[in-house]
Structure 1
Amino acid sequence: MNLKIKLLVFSALISLAACNQSKPKISDEDGLAAFNADSLKLHVAELSHDSLQGRKPFTPGETKTIAYLQKQFKAAGLEPGNGESYIQEVPMVNIQTTAAADMQVTTSKGSFKLKGFDDYVIWTDKITDKVSFDNDEVVFAGYGVVAPDYNWNDYAGLDVKGKIVMVMVNDPGFAAGDSSLFKGKTMTYYGRWTYKYEEAARQGAKGCLIVHTTEGASYPFTVVQNNWNASKLRLDDRGKSNVYTDINGWLSLPAAKKLVAAAGQDSTNFFAQADKKGFKPLALDLKLSTRVAVKTIFNKSQNVIGKITGTKRPDEVIIYTSHWDHLGIGKPDETADSIYNGAFDNASGTAGLIELARAFKSMKVQPERTIILLAVTAEEQGLWGSAYYAQNPIYPTSKTVANINIDGLNPFGKTKDIIIVGEGQSELEEYLKEAAEKAGRVIAFENHPEAGYYYRSDHFNFAKVGVPALYTSNGIDVIGKEPGYGEKQDAEYTEKHYHRPSDEFDSATWTFEGGLDDLKLFFQVGKRLAFEEKMPQWKNGSEFKAIREKK
């Protein structure tokens, strides 16, 4: 080997050694010791305490919650995430409705009344002092879907201006069990109730009533009843051109069948016709009348945001989210409890943010990308806090590497699996799979994709602006328990505790062993992202892929 070649080889070895020295060796264990079950349980107990009055925005409960989160973010060593502030203000309007006790139904053969709360629930998103149905016509518009990507239009050739549309929950593939319709049993965004109200408004409808089924909605009518004469929040959009129906609402399935029968239709197979291609909307021999009084208050709620500035690429951010809010004080349950504490949903996830902050700050080698911990407001009212952040990002979405959203942490024992919600959406699935395998666990996918959970929490707003978003639910393969035990736990929570006062912290049974294991996986995914240079991508077939590629 001549001298020139020797010098080149020596120079290359020196350069390689320098690169190896400058690139820190990241231990899989770095940061894990900071996670603590007692700490997590303490924060869950505090955030779901009766003194916070159910953490509803615009209440004293919000003030106490925000103060607590700021204190804990500071104690964990987080920097303010919005300039010199831990707060991002979210302009909102509170719309308090008081509906008449019943709804008059008139047909060519007679009239009768439906009872509010028992048969239907209604409200308005309009900023006004009153709204009403005044002997207005009813049209059955199938699923209320206009979906060019699926060659489907329930409003084709239909003029619903000034009329009430009655539509089904979910989308056509669900009830038909036909995988060739939309995504079959897997709900698309067209199946969500929010979409249906938005589309009805775009079509000029005066009102939109969704026919509830427990299977189609994935929760019982008791959850819907929480909206009866309640205050609802949305973003303050004064000065914008957004449109709304006068009245939105839900019909119980028995009430909907009663209306269909009164209109002279066979209620047995009536709704099934909407599952077929070529469905034609149908005007019904029905007219409805009722009144809703409205009071509006404009105010600002608050997202809480802290950060750990990246050491090498601080402009690239990884955002963890959880919603801090719940339903406040509402209708008493059978035990006369009226405080909707929301311990699992979502004091647990918000407490998880604090644990993640402590873990990242404890690392011997600090993240190269910036870590953001974002506790958002008004998820329960329509994902509004995350929607406002996505529309008014503090950190550019083009530089946002990923969103990892936590909406409920497993309060019970360890599980072998962790369930990914939204199969096939992004490469973050592979990140979680690798982290799970290293921990001796496995990933699984949701058993009930018809519930549309990927469209029902705050990660969805990040996905809508192109940011790859990871969302999971509790595993169901509970270690040491018989098959099916975990599914029974989930079903019991949905039936007895979801959006009810009984969602309370249980110091006797809530060990959070499972929740801590899940938190550690979220941490490992974020840690890997924090030291990588590449950006995770959406997968082919994801409806969000094109959005990211435009940025």
Structure 2
Amino acid sequence: MIPALAACAHTAAYPGVDQQALAALADMPAGEISAPTLRNVTATLASDEFEGRAPGTPGEEKTLDYLVERFAAAGLQPGNKGSWFQDVPLVELTAEDLSPLQVAGKGVPLTIPAGSGWIGVSYREQPAIDLANSEIVFVGYGINAPEKGWNDYAGIDMRGKVALILVNDPDYESPEATGLFEGRAITYYGRWTYKFEEAARQGAAAALIVHDDFPASYGWNVVESSWGGPQSHARRADGGADQPLISGWVSKPSGEAIIRAAGQDLRQLSRAASRRGFRALPLGLTAEASFRNTARPFASKNVVGILPGSTRPDEYVLYTAHWDHLGRCPANDAGDDICNGAIDNATGTAALVALGEAHVRAGPAERSLVFLAVTAEEQGLLGSEFYGSDPIFPLSQTVGGVNMDALYPTPPARDVEVVGAGKSALDSYLDAALRALGRRAMRDAAPEAGFYYRSDHFSLAKRGVPMFYVKTGKDLVDGGRAAGQAFAAHYRDNIYHGPDDEFDPDWKWDGMVLDLQLYYRLGRMLANSGDWPNWYAHDEFRHIRDASCNQGQGC
């Protein structure tokens, strides 16, 4: 038993898992993982020719053609009724000529510059966005959680108003992952996606999140690069009419200035908002902003390959990775404005190809193995979300899967970092696979970053499908934990979501190959077992999986 996982499990039982059979499954030959495949596919997808792989651009067309070529060469079959593709209907919305955010009332007006001070988009498919004389209300963390007895919007009518919202959730400063909102470990209520969704449900005219580096787990530069260009969204039947006119961010200094203009202190209000019973506070200020908004409907595509199962082809195990990145973005000091996305996520997409090759060489497993390269992850998990809502293979017949996002080209690590441990009986599979490989598991080193809600496995997990999300470890064979942590910090602070996420010909691939040996083993074990691993009884997704299994033919 791996202690780090055992401590998270909350139960000695692994629902849906035959433990004796599992030990035998873990004892298998290593997969034939090709380092040249990882290197070549990553280098190709991260080249300037692919223009940052933004959905709906020529870079997408090049990416799709290349992935089909590589999937076919690996020996996979088209996975969608003879097609390699699943159409994903999207709309690209581009905000241009953002005005400053003008704040008035209670003294000297504030002018907050676009870009460095605030940034906004609109999900509404209309050509002009004009927020005029809208009252600002500080709504704390912007959470409405009836099951926790928490409602930041209680007693306030937000129609026509601006919701000023804190990032993360109320107990993020707790050093432990315990508490009403799981303390240091962010919940979905702390994610920006939820905050914008809830503001829309409340009828707000605008939703502005106050950015802060620590609780957000990234800097303002990431906000600028991620939100400063074209944004793709799922097509809505009403053209986004039910969404706030503006959804966006203000920098921490801008948020402090707004609160100060209202005669309040952001730190004190944040402390008050962290306690049960907080009530939204009208600030006595108004906001105005405007920009042009260009809508371009288009269909992006998920790429789907399959290795049909030998005896139970109608039961499925998934490998997922997103092929997209940001495309063009704010230029660096050298004038480079292509966000190539070499680590994020050309590496994970290359892993799909390499794993496809390895499984084909090993021959079909008993269950079918699906290799799903999804689109528009960077715009809010849109490709995987579409697959989850309109699956090619029934979710009740999908056993589970492995998601791969931003693999690090470091030397081999003695450990792996497990995001989402203690949620499902997949823990037992990971336990057995790591033991067979002589490695160990560590808990998520940054639960406050909310990685569980920030990659494509979540689109399936929230619909009941147990998914692995296991990342490169920090305890490197060459340099130990200090070296691993230094690489992760450098990537996060200087490379992530910027033009410097480029392929480096000096990268070493043996660490990534070792991680893929684990992913190979996990997928193969699931595909050759008769198990249907379930969520633990305490987990929020257990009832969803149980209902899915009761209605379907699998599980």
TM superposition score category, shorter chain reference: over 0.9
Q: Which amino acid aligns with 1:518?
A: D
Residue equivalent to 2:54: 56
Per-residue deviation, 1:101: 3.4
Note the 1:14-93 alignment, pairs <5 A: 32-93=30-91
Per-residue deviation, 1:99: 3.9
Note the 1:74-473 alignment, pairs <5 A: 74-175=72-173, 179-238=178-237, 243-364=242-363, 366-473=364-471
Residue equivalent to 1:484: 482
Q: Which amino acid aligns with 1:61?
A: G
Give the Cα–Cα distance (whole angstroms) in 2 for the partners of residues 190 and 41 of structure 1.
38
Q: Is the alpha carbon distance of 1:87 and 1:501 closer, same or farther for their aligned partners in structure 2, counting shifts above 3 Å?
A: same
- Could you give the per-residue CA deviations for residues 349-407 of structure 1, whole angstroms, max 9, x where no partner exists? 0000001101111115x201000000000000110000011111010000000021000
* Count, aligned residues: 526
Q: Is the alpha carbon distance of 1:120 and 1:406 closer, same or farther for their aligned partners in structure 2, counting shifts above 3 Å?
A: same
Q: Is the 8 A contact 2:228 2:329 kept in 1?
A: no
Residue equivalent to 1:11: none
- Could you give the per-residue CA deviations for residues 133-168 of structure 1, whole angstroms, max 9, x where no partner exists? 201100000100011122111111111110000011
Give the Cα–Cα distance (whole angstroms) in 2 for the partners of residues 28 and 122 of structure 1.
49
Q: Is residue 541 of structure 1 aligned with residue 522 of structure 2?
A: no
Residue equivalent to 2:521: 524
Q: Which amino acid aligns with 1:236?
A: R
Q: Is the 8 A contact 1:306 1:374 kept in 2?
A: yes
Give the Cα–Cα distance (whole angstroms) in 2 for the partners of residues 67 and 381 of structure 1.
22
Per-residue deviation, 1:269: 2.0
Q: Which amino acid aligns with 1:255?
A: S
Q: Is the 8 A contact 1:91 1:300 kept in 2?
A: yes
Q: Which amino acid aligns with 1:207?
A: A
Residue equivalent to 1:512: 509
Larger Rg: 1
Q: Is the alpha carbon distance of 1:305 and 1:242 closer, same or farther for their aligned partners in structure 2, counting shifts above 3 Å?
A: farther
Q: Is the 8 A contact 1:37 1:511 kept in 2?
A: no
What is the root-mean-square deviation in Å for CA atoms of aligned residues? 1.8
Q: Is the alpha carbon distance of 1:488 and 1:384 closer, same or farther for their aligned partners in structure 2, counting shifts above 3 Å?
A: same
Residue equivalent to 1:5: none
Q: Which moved more, 1:29-38 or 1:68-77?
A: 29-38
Q: Is the alpha carbon distance of 1:307 and 1:116 closer, same or farther for their aligned partners in structure 2, counting shifts above 3 Å?
A: same
Q: Which amino acid aligns with 2:321?
A: S
Q: Is the alpha carbon distance of 1:33 and 1:459 closer, same or farther for their aligned partners in structure 2, counting shifts above 3 Å?
A: closer
Per-residue deviation, 1:240: 8.4
Give the Cα–Cα distance (whole angstroms) in 1 for the partners of residues 340 and 87 of structure 2.
23
Give the Cα–Cα distance (whole angstroms) in 2 for the partners of residues 246 and 27 of structure 1.
53
Q: Which amino acid aligns with 2:358?
A: A
Q: Is the 8 A contact 1:136 1:163 kept in 2?
A: yes
Q: Is the alpha carbon distance of 1:448 and 1:66 closer, same or farther for their aligned partners in structure 2, counting shifts above 3 Å?
A: same
Q: Which amino acid aligns with 1:222?
A: N
Give the Cα–Cα distance (whole angstroms) in 2 for the partners of residues 29 and 116 of structure 1.
57
Give the Cα–Cα distance (whole angstroms) in 1 for the partners of residues 481 and 403 of structure 2.
28
- Could you give the per-residue CA deviations for residues 420-447 of structure 1, whole angstroms, max 9, x where no partner exists? 1012111112211211111110011111
Q: Is the 8 A contact 2:172 2:448 kept in 1?
A: yes
Per-residue deviation, 1:229: 4.3
| Displaced runs of 4 or more, over 4 A | 25-31, 239-242
Q: Is the 8 A contact 1:122 1:227 kept in 2?
A: no
Q: Could you say what secondary structure the match of 2:109 adopts? A: strand
Residue equivalent to 2:16: none
Give the Cα–Cα distance (whole angstroms) in 2 for the partners of residues 298 and 241 of structure 1.
13
- Could you give the per-residue CA deviations for residues 311-356 of structure 1, whole angstroms, max 9, x where no partner exists? 1111100010000000001211112111110000000000000011
- Normalising by structure 1, what TM-score? 0.93
Q: Is the 8 A contact 2:26 2:525 kept in 1?
A: no
Q: Which moved more, 1:534-543 or 1:517-526?
A: 534-543
Q: Which moved more, 1:233-242 or 1:278-287?
A: 233-242
- Could you give the per-residue CA deviations for residues 471-492 of structure 1, whole angstroms, max 9, x where no partner exists? 1221001113144221121111
Give the Cα–Cα distance (whole angstroms) in 2 for the partners of residues 363 and 425 of structure 1.
31
Contiguous gaps of at least 5 residues in structure 2: 1-20, 549-555
Give the Cα–Cα distance (whole angstroms) in 2 for the partners of residues 44 and 280 of structure 1.
50
Per-residue deviation, 1:180: 2.8
- Could you give the per-residue CA deviations for residues 201-221 of structure 1, whole angstroms, max 9, x where no partner exists? 000000000011111111101
Q: Is the alpha carbon distance of 1:174 and 1:28 closer, same or farther for their aligned partners in structure 2, counting shifts above 3 Å?
A: closer
Contiguous gaps of at least 5 residues in structure 1: 1-22
Q: Which amino acid aligns with 1:74?
A: A
